Amino acid sequence: LHVSPPRGDTSYFLLSLFVLFLASRALPYNNPTTPEAFFDQRPPSLRIQAANEGRVIPGRVLSLSNIFFDPGDQGEISSIYADQLSEQALYDYIVAIKAKEIIAPNLPMIYHTPSLDGFDGGILPLRSYSALMSNTILDGEVTTDGRLREHLTAVPDPLWLDYFNVRFLITDKTADEWINGIYFDTQHPVTVAAGRRVELGYVPPFTATAVLIRTDSGGNPPGQLIGLTSGEGGQERLVMPLRRAETEPEVWLADPPRPVRFDSLTLEAGGQDWRVLGVTLLDGTNGSFQTAVPGMYRLIHSGDVKVYENLDVLPRVFAVPDMNQFFLPTAARLVDEVVSYEPGRVVVATNFVAPTTLVVTEAFYPGWQATANGVDTAVVPVANFFMGVTVPAGRQEVVLEFVPQRVLWGGVATAVGILLWLTVLGWAWRKR
């Protein structure tokens, strides 16, 4: 059927088309840039993919950055594309590069890297998701579209990152510091309570003549540093008092008796709380240095951005004695084996001495069903968002499957509709 506009309204019709054409000029698809904006993969995503390789369940990622940094290869990019792209297209390309550095907002979907972010990152951003994030890592703020990065100004409490299976953390370097030519990674500040100790989760293999500690205040020595090092005579424990740097009152130095490679480092506070912003190992013989990260993190990539590995992260599937102990870190237990983990189907092998709650940190949604050795068992919400299944004692194969009843009923309704349509069509053909 072809409908032509009335002849008297032709001018209005053409004017409407022209206005729509002008309005569409600002849409992104009418302002293309180089295809490399999509196809060129950056080092952070490659590093995370390499770290996840061979794992049944890849660890989740979380980004913290306002992308207020310049790519290290921006000069090279400008020289290559200056005579090929318009100023706006070049700008869009650079913004795309920075988004790929932090794998946001929905790039985890492209790189098959699960994210805690609910904006096409792998978690269903339900209302319960927004409530859980608001009550935990967002500290009262509310995300209505699932995005987390825009609401985060600092690394969230490690406890929540552990529970939510955030294995990789991506941040930029805009808050880090250079002091007298020494670099301090200040992304993970820790407060050591008076008289208490905090051990660094990972000490890089670096021979140091001094350890520099960046604090947020001067005053009296805030504590001491305890290091363990291995030698021919076995492991040696070094207790190193702190002395203030000559030109920087907020930098303290711990001097080992000789150049050493530490197996571990522990911060011990004195009579007051000690706020540690960053730790750097220094080799005074050649001026080289290596940052260390307070807390249970390991730096696995440093380029335009930094990628940290969470050394304390809980797996995507774990167990607790009962629902009430979900947020007790000491209560979490590992399962025997995650046999398979696919969208809509999870198979787990367990062997507990008593009935236990199996927790799967995916969004609870009507339609999930579970069996333990073929016997139906209920899937219930944990922390009002994740999935939980009560598993009997002994060896069990637990299977969780997503079988939404609405889809089944929709299929039935579609089949009935097609059948009715064929019936009416056949009746009309016979009547002819």
Task: Output the pLDDT for position 358.
Answer: 95
Task: Output the pLDDT for position 325.
Answer: 81
Task: Output the pLDDT for position 353.
Answer: 93
241 upstream amide cis, omega within 30 of 0: no
Report yes or no on whether pTM surpasses 0.95: no
d(CA 348, CA 358): 9
Domains of the chain by residue range: 29-171, 177-296, 317-405
CATH fold of 177-296 reads Jelly Rolls (2.60.120)
Q: Which residues pair with 209 in a beta bridge?
A: none
Task: Output the pLDDT for position 234.
Answer: 86
Q: Which residues pair with 217 in a beta bridge?
A: none
Q: Which stretches of the chain score pLDDT less than 50?
A: 1
d(CA 364, CA 374): 21
Task: Output the pLDDT for position 7.
Answer: 56
Q: What are φ and ψ of residue 421, in 5° steps?
A: -65, -40
Task: Output the pLDDT for position 312.
Answer: 93
pLDDT tens per residue across span 187-207? 999 999 999 999 999 999 999
d(CA 229, CA 210): 14
Residue 4 tokens read as 């032509």
CA torsion through residues 208, 213, 218, 223, sign: negative
Burial of 208 (0-12, 13-18, 19+ CB in 10 A): buried
